[in-house]
Amino acid sequence: MATLAAGPGTPEHRAPAQRAVAPNRRRPPSWILLALSLGVAIILAAPLVFLLIEARDSGWSTVWQLIWRPLTWTLLWNTIRLTVVVTVLCAIVGTLAAWCVECTDLPFRRVWAVLVVIPFAIPDFVVSFGWASLSTWVQGFRGAVLVMTLAVYPLVYLPVAAAFRSADPGQEEAARSLGLGRVQTFVRVTLRQARGAILGGSILVTLIILAEYGAFEILGYQTFTTEIFTELQSSFSVATASALSLVLVGIGIIVLGGEVLVQGRGRLVRTGAFAQRATRRHALGHFRIPVLLAFAALAALALGVPVGSSIYWMFARQGGAIAGASLASAGANTAAYSASAAVLTTAMALPVALYAVRYGGRIARLLERSTYLVLAMPGVVIALALSYFVERYAGGFGYQSATLLVVAYAILFFPLALVGVRASVAYAPVSLEEAARSLGSGRVAVFRRVTLPLVGPGLAAAFCLVFLAALTELTATLLLIPTGAQTLSTQFWAYEQNLSYGQAAPFALVIIAVAAVPSYVIARYFDRLPARVARSK
Partner 1 sequence: MRVTALVIALAAVVGVAVGCGSSGSANSLTLYSGQHVQTTADLVRAFEQATGITVNTRSANEDTLAAQISTEGSNSPADAFYTENSPALEYLQGKGLLSPVLPSTLAKVPAKYSSPHGDWVGVSARASVIIFNPSRISPSKLPTSVMQLSDPKYKDQLAVAPSETDFQPIVTSVAKTYGNTAAVSWLKGIAANAGGRVYPDNETVVNEVNRGSAALGVINQYYWYRIRDEIGASNMHAKIADFAPNDVGYVIDVSGAGALKSSSHQANAQRFLAFLVSPQAQKIIADSQSYEYPIAPGVAASPKEVPLSQLQPNSVSIADLGDGSTAVSLLRQAGLL
Which residue stretch of 105-113, 122-130, 337-345, 425-433 sits at the interface with partner 1 (rule: CB under 8 A)?
337-345
For residues 152 and 238, is the Cβ–Cβ distance under 8 A? no
> What is d(CA 1, CA 465) in angstroms, rounded to the nearest whole number?
10
Question: Can you tell me the distance from the alpha carbon of 148 to that of 133, in angstroms, rounded to the nearest whole number?
Answer: 16
In three state form, how does the secondary structure of 240-263 look? HHHHHHHHHHHHHHHHHHHHHHHH
- Taking CB under 8 A as the rule, which mask of x and - marks residues 139-178 in contact with partner 1? xxx-------------------------------------
Pick between residue 419 and residue 485 the one whose CB is nearest to partner 1: 485
- By the rule CB under 8 A, 443 interacts with partner 1: no
Q: Which of residues 405-434 bind partner 1 (CB under 8 A)?
A: 406
Q: Using CB under 8 A, pick the residue from 186, 389, 399, 520 that binds partner 1.
A: 399
Tell me the three state secondary structure of residue 5: coil
Compute how many other C-beta atoms are within 10 angstroms of the C-beta atom of residue 500.
Answer: 16
Interatomic CA distance for residues 464 and 343, integer angstroms: 10
The reply to whether 360 sits near partner 1 by the rule CB under 8 A is: no
Compute φ and ψ for 282, nearest 5 degrees.
-70, 140
Using CB under 8 A as the binding rule, whether residue 473 contacts partner 1 is answered as: no
Instruction: Tell me which of 24, 271, 431, 498 binds partner 1, using CB under 8 A.
Output: 498
The residue among 350, 487, 326 whose CA lies nearest residue 405 is 487
Q: Is 69 in the site for partner 1 (CB under 8 A)?
A: yes
Contact 372, 256 (CB under 8 A): yes
Stretch that binds partner 1, among 42-50, 371-379, 419-427, 456-464 (CB under 8 A): 456-464
Q: Does 398 bind partner 1 (CB under 8 A)?
A: yes
Q: Where are the alpha helices (DSSP H) in 413-451?
A: 414-427, 430-438, 443-446
Query: Of 142, 118, 113, which is closest to residue 128 (Cα–Cα)?
Result: 142
Rounded to the nearest whole angstrom, what is the least distance from the CB of residue 49 to partner 1 in the complex?
17
Give CB contacts under 8 A, 24+ apart, made by 98-102. Answer: 98/156, 98/157, 98/160, 98/161, 98/163, 98/164, 98/194, 99/160, 99/164, 99/186, 99/190, 100/284, 100/291, 100/295, 101/161, 102/161, 102/164, 102/165
Query: What gap in Å lies between CA 250 and CA 331, rounded to an integer?
Result: 36
- Interaction of residue 81 with partner 1, rule CB under 8 A: no
> CB of residue 136 vs partner 1: minimum separation in angstroms?
4
CA 48 – CA 242 distance, rounded (Å) = 10
Which residues have a Cβ under 8 Å from the Cβ of 389 and sit 6 or more positions away? 46, 50
Contact string (CB under 8 A) for partner 1, positions 285-324, x = contact: ---------------------------------xxx----
In the bound state with partner 1, the residue whose beta carbon lies nearer, of 43 and 339, is: 339
Q: Is 53 in the site for partner 1 (CB under 8 A)?
A: no
Tell me: does residue 456 bind partner 1 (CB under 8 A): yes
- What binding mask, one character per residue, do residues 193-232 give for partner 1 by CB under 8 A, x or -? ------------------------x--x-x---x---xxx
Which helix or strand (DSSP H or E) is residue 204 part of? helix 195-211
| Binding-site size, partner 1 (CB under 8 A) | 62
Compute the least distance from the CB of residue 63 to partner 1, in Å.
Answer: 14
Residue 136 interacts with partner 1 (CB under 8 A): yes or no: yes
Part of the chain binding partner 1 (CB under 8 A), chosen from 12-20, 163-171, 332-340, 368-376:
332-340
List of residues contacting partner 1 (CB under 8 A): 69-71, 74, 136, 139-141, 217, 220, 222, 226, 230-238, 318-320, 336-337, 339-340, 342-344, 387-388, 391, 395-396, 398-403, 406, 448-449, 452-453, 456, 459, 463, 478-479, 482-484, 494, 497-502
